[in-house]
Amino acid sequence: MNDSASQSPSSDNPDAPSTKKRKRSLWRGFWLTFLVASLAYAWYSFYVPSNDVAWAGNFTLAQQRAADSDKPIILYFTGEWCVPCRIMKRQVWADQEVTALVNDQFIPVALDVDDPENADLMERYNIVGPPVIIVTDIEGNALRWQVGGMSKADFLELLNPSNPE
């Protein structure tokens, strides 16, 4: 009688422990998948490969190089926190075709919008936020520009001198 009394609660629901294990296993799988997907998205959003673009250190240096080489300047207004900028750095600036074209025909300079030294340039070109790409002549007069992130094809089209914006 003692054995039947101790077994009666478990005989009402014989598979309760296995159901709990199954639910726990499903939730564990869900959260593990969520964690992996979140980490992958964060890596994708913030990973920026190196590139071989010959960046000028600042606008003054870019103007000097442009005057020496008679090449237009590319002003790239960017920010460390700017996700579209990081995507462009990964998909546009790291591309070998873009690198070759920019290094051959332009003087590029990356300007951090959070750097106080770039405040005058931001005011001059009326920059509110990144990313902004401006192609200028040697004196810094804007020839073509694009506000916002862009694809490689759009960027190459922007660099085309027969494409006035």
Asked if CATH classification 3.30.530.20 holds for the domain at 59-159, the reply, yes or no, is no
Q: Classify residue 68 by burial, with Cβ atoms within 10 Å: 0-12, 13-18, 19+.
A: exposed
Percent helix, strand and coil across the chain, each to the nearest 5: 55, 15, 30
pLDDT band, residue 16 (cuts 50/70/90): low
pLDDT at 31 over 70: yes
Is pLDDT of 152 > 60? Answer: yes
Give the tokens for residue 90.
């990964």
Mean pLDDT of 140-154: 94
- Contact in structure between 66 and 72 (CB atoms under 8 Å): yes
Rounded to the nearest integer, the mean pLDDT of the chain is 86
Higher per-residue confidence, 50 vs 60 = 60
Question: Confidence class of residue 106 from pLDDT cuts 50, 70 and 90?
Answer: very high
Whether residue 10 has pLDDT greater than 70: no
pLDDT at 150 over 70: yes
Q: Three-state SS for 144?
A: strand
3-state DSSP call for residue 39? Answer: helix
Quick check: bond before 131 cis, omega within 30? yes
